């Protein structure tokens, strides 16, 4: 990465790194350098990012319940969301990847972009300290923080799964009852949630069809976010 590239990136980040080697390490994937890569910085940045978002939510939603705070944080720090922020900062264009990752489009992959963003947070923490790091991270997330509320965090898993798929113009999930055991009111429903776009199916068992659908949808959504 040239000095001009670094300067442009620092401008997008909103912070001028004095130690440019630290920033370069944050952008180095393990496929490019097995020893000197961004994995340790990612570990540090992951914890710091979670702390920053947690404190912001705690301060701004004094009436929110613990479960709501947890769900809001999960929305904000999940891999797909971090990848979106990384794309806005154009981190992909600055990543140092090995040949295989370059050929397979690693600079566009959600998991690599999310890891790089966390690594940059770790680098910011080391160089600038907690307060500057907090200010910069909150600026990156400002538009998302303005949208998150305890109410929309309470959306059920089926709704969130449908919105995830619709946002990517993918087919909606298909729910199928596999078995019903027992007699009302002590029935158990075995249900399948199929993602035809990914050739994957997830099963769950619940005391009602709705409960089983929600649990299967939650499993599908977790899998999708982990694969992104």
Per-residue pLDDT of 132-183, as tens digits, reads 999 999 999 999 999 888 877 767 788 889 988 998 999 999 999 999 998 8
Say whether 39 counts as a known binding-site residue. Answer: no
Say whether 90 counts as a known binding-site residue. Answer: no
Q: Where in the chain is the domain with CATH 3.30.160.20?
A: 157-227
pLDDT at 184 over 80: no
| 3-class secondary-structure state, position 114 | helix
User: Quick one: fold of 3-153?
Assistant: Ribonuclease iii, N-terminal Endonuclease Domain; Chain A (1.10.1520)
The reported pLDDT for the residue numbered 154 is 67
Q: Where in the chain is the domain with CATH 1.10.1520.10?
A: 3-153
pLDDT at 73 over 70: yes
- Of 151, 126, 109, 161, the closest CA to residue 43 belongs to 126
pLDDT at 214 over 90: no
CA distance 140 to 2: 24
147 is an active site residue: no
Which of 101, 110, 118, 213 is flagged as catalytic?
118
Pairing of strands 200-206, 188-195: antiparallel
Percent of the chain, pLDDT > 90?
Answer: 64
Average pLDDT, the chain: 91
Q: What is the mean pLDDT of residues 171-197?
A: 91
pLDDT at 228 over 80: no
Q: What is the mean pLDDT of residues 105-112?
A: 87
DSSP code for 106: G
Say whether 115 counts as a known binding-site residue. Answer: yes
CA distance 152 to 72: 8
CA distance 181 to 207: 10
Note the CATH number of domain 157-227. Answer: 3.30.160.20
Which of 46, 110, 213, 215 is flagged as catalytic?
46
pLDDT category at 5 given cuts 50, 70, 90 is: confident
Helix ranges, the chain (H): 3-13, 20-26, 39-60, 66-77, 79-88, 99-103, 110-128, 130-140, 142-147, 150-153, 157-167, 209-227
Q: What radius of gyration do the chain's Cα atoms show?
A: 20
Question: Mean pLDDT: which of 68-77, 91-100, 132-141, 176-185 is highest?
Answer: 132-141
118 is an active site residue: yes
Percent of the chain, pLDDT > 70?
Answer: 99
218 compared with 51, residue with greater pLDDT: 51
211-217 CB contacts, 8 Å cutoff, 24+ apart: 213/158, 213/175, 214/156, 214/157, 214/158, 215/157, 216/175, 216/191, 216/192, 217/156, 217/157, 217/158, 217/160, 217/161, 217/173, 217/193
């Amino acid at each position: 990465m040239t000095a001009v590239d670094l300067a442009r990136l620092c401008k997008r980040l909103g912070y001028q790194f004095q130690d440019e080697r630290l920033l370069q390490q944050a952008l180095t994937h393990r496929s490019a350098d097995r020893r000197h890569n961004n994995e340790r910085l990612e570990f540090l940045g992951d914890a710091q990012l979670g702390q920053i978002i947690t404190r912001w939510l705690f301060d701004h939603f004094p009436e929110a319940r613990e479960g709501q705070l947890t769900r809001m944080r999960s929305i904000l720090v999940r891999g797909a969301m971090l990848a979106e922020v990384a794309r806005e900062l154009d981190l992909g264009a600055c990543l140092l990847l090995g040949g295989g990752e370059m050929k397979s489009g690693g600079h566009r992959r959600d998991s690599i972009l999310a890891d790089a963003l966390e690594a940059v947070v770790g680098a910011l923490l080391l160089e600038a300290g907690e307060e500057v790091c907090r200010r910069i991270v909150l600026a990156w997330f400002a538009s998302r923080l303005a949208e998150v509320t305890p109410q929309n965090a309470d959306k059920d898993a089926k709704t969130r799964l449908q919105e995830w798929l619709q946002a990517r113009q993918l087919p909606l999930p298909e729910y199928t009852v596999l078995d019903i055991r027992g007699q009302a009111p002590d029935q158990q429903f075995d249900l399948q949630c199929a993602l035809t776009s990914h050739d994957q199916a997830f099963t769950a068992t619940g005391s009602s069809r709705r409960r089983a659908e929600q649990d299967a949808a939650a499993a599908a959504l977790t899998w999708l976010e982990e694969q992104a």
